[in-house]
Structure 1
């Protein structure tokens, strides 16, 4: 369909004519208008609702205690996630501590996502996939260009790094602010000889993250770097969020994570968060 945008008035009329139309990939505003609200969650309680396109990205600031549900609709989504303390964005996800402090390298229900300051940024509270990765990070421009022939964020095979750069810019963050990320819905395991084994997807699944501090959340939905498929393959990702309560320190599984939750609660309560 040809649209007339040759004049300011024609462009205005064209833009207004699209009001109320839906797309396969879009944020739902208000969040309560989402057609995919999670079971058991009142639509009026939703604070974030969006379907992220294959090869797309999103960014949001959420309050402490928010539950964020990521839904892999088809089994082909790969949610690369970065977290920043929204109060002090120089505090951010530290993948090494996220593996080290809980004495567990594989992500799953109950696993805290830690910053380098000894605090818990978010907790995985539910997981129906079991296929995740905290080893490889996301793809680079060089990687995607070599594998798919293109890495531009507006192209057919965007790299995770290029998408994160766009998402970060919306919050006054630059490329140097982007640490290694974690990935949900496409699994990797370490063999006894240290090589990384691609596990892929468990099929359609959900993961819930609980924000333990106010967070800037960046998500890039793009192919995993170890995905062996020759063609760029990614499915849609749904995101829904609603207010809940932060995790209590008593929920910690180890003395080390107990201390991390205490550090987090102390930081938040001292600031009235």
Structure 2
């Protein structure tokens, strides 16, 4: 049963406190969505999502079910338990004000009112400030609903894949401990769309069962199982 739902406006940011064994489902309400994600342990925000370790330990270049999202202490923060897409970017970061200004020119509320363009970084920083966190707490984001692949040149250029996400696509994260999750729906910095066209996102939270011994994430890789076990030991 859904505990609550919230619609994240296009180009906006939002924070949710996600209790252990609750699932956060994010659903695209428009085509071309991107959601930049920061994640912290609620008990101690110094423990946060470590994207490089998450990918390296599970031998992946992207996020896809049933990967475990690991902290910088090797513990499981959350698990990507399901998704309508097989690829979510975790290597190219989030948009900045400088990026937006270079592409679309300066924007502020006084001039543009509700059409004000805000970067993912600006939105994430505003949300972090509400919880006593700041610029030093920014870390590498995951970018749900975005696919970025090697372009095949000698420089190792990464290419954005247009049309990867459509309205109705979804991804679900199960919290393995109490979390603070910070989200921005600003466009991905490599999105070539010439128009400013962020997408709306629906977030729903529901209680889910704890991962059992045959949970797909526990069996995916030895490192995945160890991260789950480390979290479970610390909370026993």
- Same structural fold, with TM-score higher than 0.5 when normalized by the shorter chain: yes
| Mapped pair 1:91 → 2:47 | yes
CA–CA separation in structure 2 for the residues paired with 1:120 and 1:210:
10
CA–CA separation in structure 1 for the residues paired with 2:108 and 2:3:
30
| Mapped pair 1:214 → 2:178 | yes
TM-score by length of 2: 0.89
> Residue in 1 aligned with 2:80?
124
> Residue in 2 aligned with 1:161?
121
Match of 2:135 among 147, 150, 175: 175
Q: Is contact 1:110–1:123 with CA below 8 Å preserved after alignment?
A: yes
Per-residue deviation, residues 174-224 of structure 1 (Å, max 9, x unmatched) = 111110100111211124442101113232201010001100010000010
Aligned pair count? 225
| Mapped pair 1:266 → 2:233 | yes
Q: Is contact 1:77–1:235 with CA below 8 Å preserved after alignment?
A: yes
Per-residue deviation, residues 56-97 of structure 1 (Å, max 9, x unmatched) = 111011110111100012222211111100001100011101
> Residue in 2 aligned with 1:202?
165
> Residue in 2 aligned with 1:140?
96
Per-residue deviation, residues 209-249 of structure 1 (Å, max 9, x unmatched) = 00011000100000100000122111110000011133346
Superposition deviation, residue 156 in structure 1: 2.5
CA–CA separation in structure 2 for the residues paired with 1:133 and 1:120:
19
Secondary structure (helix, strand or coil) at the match of 1:110 reads coil
Deviates more, 1:73-82 or 1:215-224: 73-82
Going from structure 1 to structure 2, the CA distance change for 1:151 and 1:144 (only over 3 Å counts) comes to farther
CA–CA separation in structure 1 for the residues paired with 2:8 and 2:212:
31
CA–CA separation in structure 2 for the residues paired with 1:48 and 1:94:
28
Q: Is contact 2:33–2:165 with CA below 8 Å preserved after alignment?
A: no
Deviates more, 1:144-153 or 1:80-89: 144-153
- Which of these two proteins has the greater Rg computed from alpha carbons? 1
CA–CA separation in structure 1 for the residues paired with 2:107 and 2:208:
38
| Mapped pair 1:254 → 2:221 | yes
> Residue in 1 aligned with 2:62?
106
Match of 1:77 among 27, 33, 44: 33
Q: Is contact 1:168–1:218 with CA below 8 Å preserved after alignment?
A: yes
Q: Which runs of 5+ in 2 are unaligned?
A: none
Going from structure 1 to structure 2, the CA distance change for 1:202 and 1:62 (only over 3 Å counts) comes to closer
CA–CA separation in structure 2 for the residues paired with 1:220 and 1:152:
18
